[in-house]
C-alpha cells in the first residue's frame, strides 16, 4: 500500500451517534471510499483526522491502515495533505471504536 489521495464520503460526521450503538459518539469524521471494497465486501471504511468540524466529504492523503486481527476489515486513516500523525496519536483518536478490536497500525 502506498500514500495516495482518496475521497472519503462521510456518513458518520464528527459529533454524530453510531446508528446501532447510540452511546458511541464520533470524535472524528468517518465514512467510506467509493469503489474500493474491503475484506467484508463493503466499501472501504476510513477515519478522517485533522478536520475539526463535521463534513460530508473529504479528499485527503491515506496515511495509515488500522488492521484488525479479529475482524475481516481494515480501516483506512486519511488526513489533510502534509499532516503528520504518529501511531500513538492515531490510536488515541480512533480508540472510541478500535478499543473493541485487536489492532495494529501500518504507517504508509
Q: Give the C-alpha separation, 33 to 44, whole Å.
A: 5
What spatial distance separates the first Cα and last Cα of the chain, rounded to whole Å? 7
Distance from C-alpha of 97 to C-alpha of 35, rounded to nearest angstrom? 24
pLDDT the model gives residue 40: 86
Q: What span, in angstroms and rounded, lies between the C-alpha atoms of 30 and 10?
A: 5
pLDDT at position 1 is 83
* CATH number of 10's domain: 3.90.80.10
Range of the domain at 65: 5-107
Is the pTM of the predicted complex or chain greater than 0.85?
Answer: yes
Contact 92, 27 (CB under 8 A): no
> What pLDDT shows up at residue 101?
96
pLDDT at 94: 98
Output the nine-digit C-alpha cell for 79. Answer: 488526513
Q: pLDDT > 90: what percent of the chain?
A: 93
- What pLDDT, in 10s, does the model give residues 7-28? 999 999 999 999 999 999 999 9
Sites in the chain below the pLDDT cut of 70: none
Instruction: Say what the pLDDT of residue 41 is.
Output: 87
CA distance 16 to 5: 25
- What DSSP string runs through 26-63? -SSEEEEEEEEE-TTSSEEEEEE-S--S--SEEEEEEE
Question: For the chain, how many structural domains are there in total?
Answer: 1
Amino acid at each position: 500500500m502506498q500514500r495516495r489521495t482518496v475521497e472519503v464520503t462521510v456518513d458518520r460526521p464528527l459529533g454524530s451517534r453510531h446508528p446501532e450503538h447510540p452511546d458511541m459518539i464520533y470524535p472524528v469524521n468517518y465514512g467510506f471510499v467509493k469503489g474500493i471494497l474491503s475484506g467484508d465486501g463493503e466499501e472501504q471504511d476510513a477515519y478522517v483526522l485533522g478536520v475539526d468540524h463535521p463534513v460530508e466529504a473529504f479528499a485527503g492523503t491515506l496515511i495509515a491502515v488500522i488492521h484488525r486481527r479479529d475482524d475481516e476489515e481494515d480501516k483506512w486513516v486519511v488526513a489533510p495533505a502534509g499532516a503528520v500523525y504518529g501511531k500513538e496519536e492515531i490510536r488515541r483518536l480512533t480508540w472510541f471504536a478500535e478499543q473493541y478490536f485487536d489492532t495494529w497500525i501500518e504507517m504508509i
